[in-house]
Amino acid sequence: MRAEELTEQKYRTRYITPLYKILKNPSLLLLSAITLLGAGLRLYRLSYQSFWEDELYSWWASSFTGPAMVIRVGVLPDIHPPGYQLLMYLVQRLGAEGELGLRLPSAVAGILAIPLLYWLGYKLYGPMEGLIAAALLAVLHFPIYYSQEARSYALVLLFVLLTAVLSLDLFSAKPQHLTPYLLLPAAIVLASLHYYGLLFVILLGGTAVFLTIRYRRDKMRLVLRLFGLVGAAYLLWLPGIITQLQISNRGLWITPPGNIVETFLALFYQFFNQRWLPAYLMLGLILVAVISRLKKRKTYKNLPNATLFLLLWLVIPFGMTYLFSVLVTPIFTYRNLIIILPAALLLAARGLTQIPPKWGQIGAASLLTGVLLWQVVGGDYYTAPHKTQFREAAAIIVNQEAEDALIIRVVP
C-alpha cells in the first residue's frame, strides 16, 4: 500500500468515520446540537457579571506563591477542601485572570456535564431519557448560573456524573478495562473539590459494597480496593479537616432549614428556573416514573432497577444534610445539593417517557425545553446584574477625584 493511501486511510479513520457515525445516528446528532446550545448559554457573556464575594475569595485564596501557601493561608481558614483552590492556582499560573479566565473552567465543566448526563441516562434507561435529561441540563438556569461562576459547583456536578458513569460501567457485564483506573482519580478529585463531593463518594462507595454483596460478589475485592485507596488518599487531608473544624466560622451564615416538605419543594423551585410551575411539573413526572416502576414486577439479576437507584440518589443526600442541619449545625444550601440534580433530571425524563404516545413524548419534551430556555434567555439573566457589583464599585472608587471621599458599603 502506497504512502498516500495509508495517509488517506488514517485521515478517514481519525476524522471522517467518527463524523459519519454522528450524522448517521439521530441521537448523537441531537446530543451534539443540545451540547452546542448548552455551550452557547454557558459561554455567552461569561464575564458580564462582576465577581461577587465568594468568587473574589476564590481568586484571593489561589493567588499566593506556591501550593503550600494556598493551602495554609487560603484553604485552611475556609470550609472547603483544597481541590478547587489548587486548580485556580494552576489556572492563574497559566496566565488566566479576571472574570473570563477564572470562570472558564466552570463553563467547560458545565458543557462537558451535558453529554455525560446523556450517557448516564442512556446506560440506565435508553437514548430518549438521556436526551431529555441532557436537554433540561443544557437550558436550566441553575446549572447555567454555576457554570458562569468561579466556584467549584460546576466541577462537582461534572465529577459526580463521571464517577456515576464509571461506577455503572464497573458493574456492567463487560466493563471497560480502564474503568477502575479512571474511577479512582475521579473519586479522589470529586472528594477534594467539595465536602458534598466527599459525601457523594462515601454514599457511592457504600452503594457499591451493597451491590457487590447482593448482586456481584465477584466484584468485592475490586470495589474494596478502589474505595479503600480513595479513603487512604483522603487521609492526607485529615489534618486539614481537623484544623478547619477548629478555626473556621465561615458556615455561621447558614440558617437552619424549615419544614422538610417546604424545603424539598423550595429546592426544586431553585433547580427549575425559580418558578413553581416547572418545579411541580418535574415532581409530577418523577411521581409518574416511580408509579411506573411499582407497576412493573420484573426483577433484575445483575443490578436493581434504575428508578430505585435514582430515587435513593435524590432522597438520601437531601435527607442526610437536612437532618444534620436540624440536629447538629446548619449546612443545608441549595447550591451544595447540585450533587442530586442529575437524579432529578433523569427521573423526570423517565416519567415523561412513560406517558404515551411516543410522538407526544417528543413534542412535550421539546415544548418543555423551549419554555425553560425562553425563561432564561427571554428574561434579564444576560442583561441585568445578578451579583454584587464589586467591579463597578471599584471603578467608581478609582475614578473618584476627591482623595478623602466617603465610601459607604451597605451589607443586607
What is the SS3 assignment for the chain?
A: CCHHHHHHHHHHHHHHHHHHHHHHCHHHHHHHHHHHHHHHHHHCCCCCCCCCHHHHHHHHHCCCCCHHHHHHHHHCCCCCCCHHHHHHHHHHHCCCCHHHHHHHHHHHHHHHHHHHHHHHHHHHCCHHHHHHHHHHHHHCHHHHHHHCCCCCHHHHHHHHHHHHHHHHHHCCCCCCCCHHHHHHHHHHHHHHHCHHHHHHHHHHHHHHHHHHHHCCHHHHHHHHHHHHHHHHHHHHHHHHHHHHHHHCCHHHHCCCCCCHHHHHHHHHHHHCCCCHHHHHHHHHHHHHHHHHHHHCCCCCCCCCCHHHHHHHHHHHHHHHHHHHHHHCCCCCCCHHHHHHHHHHHHHHHHHHHCCCCHHHHHHHHHHHHHHHHHHHHCCCCCCCCCCCCHHHHHHHHHCCCCCCCCCCCCCC
pTM over 0.85: yes
pLDDT exceeds cutoff 90 at 390: no
Instruction: Give 109 or 214, the one with higher predicted confidence.
Output: 109
pLDDT exceeds cutoff 80 at 250: no
pLDDT band at 218 (very low <50, low <70, confident <90, very high): confident
pLDDT band at 172 (very low <50, low <70, confident <90, very high): confident
Confidence at residue 389, expressed as pLDDT on a 0 to 100 scale: 83
**Lowest mean per-residue pLDDT among 105-119, 128-142, 170-184, 316-330:** 170-184
Confidence at residue 5, expressed as pLDDT on a 0 to 100 scale: 54
pLDDT band at 247 (very low <50, low <70, confident <90, very high): confident
Confidence at residue 13, expressed as pLDDT on a 0 to 100 scale: 52
pLDDT exceeds cutoff 50 at 384: yes
Overall average pLDDT of the 358-366 stretch: 90
Confidence at residue 302, expressed as pLDDT on a 0 to 100 scale: 43
pLDDT exceeds cutoff 60 at 176: yes
Confidence at residue 214, expressed as pLDDT on a 0 to 100 scale: 85
**Lowest mean per-residue pLDDT among 73-82, 185-194, 265-274, 298-307:** 298-307
Mean pLDDT, all residues of the chain: 89
Confidence at residue 293, expressed as pLDDT on a 0 to 100 scale: 84
Overall average pLDDT of the 181-206 stretch: 97
Confidence at residue 50, expressed as pLDDT on a 0 to 100 scale: 93
Q: Give per-residue pLDDT as tens, 120-156.
A: 999 999 999 999 999 999 999 999 999 999 999 999 9
Confidence at residue 301, expressed as pLDDT on a 0 to 100 scale: 40
Confidence at residue 222, expressed as pLDDT on a 0 to 100 scale: 93
Percent of residues, the chain, with pLDDT higher than 70: 88
Instruction: Give 11 or 54, the one with higher predicted confidence.
Output: 54
Confidence at residue 300, expressed as pLDDT on a 0 to 100 scale: 41
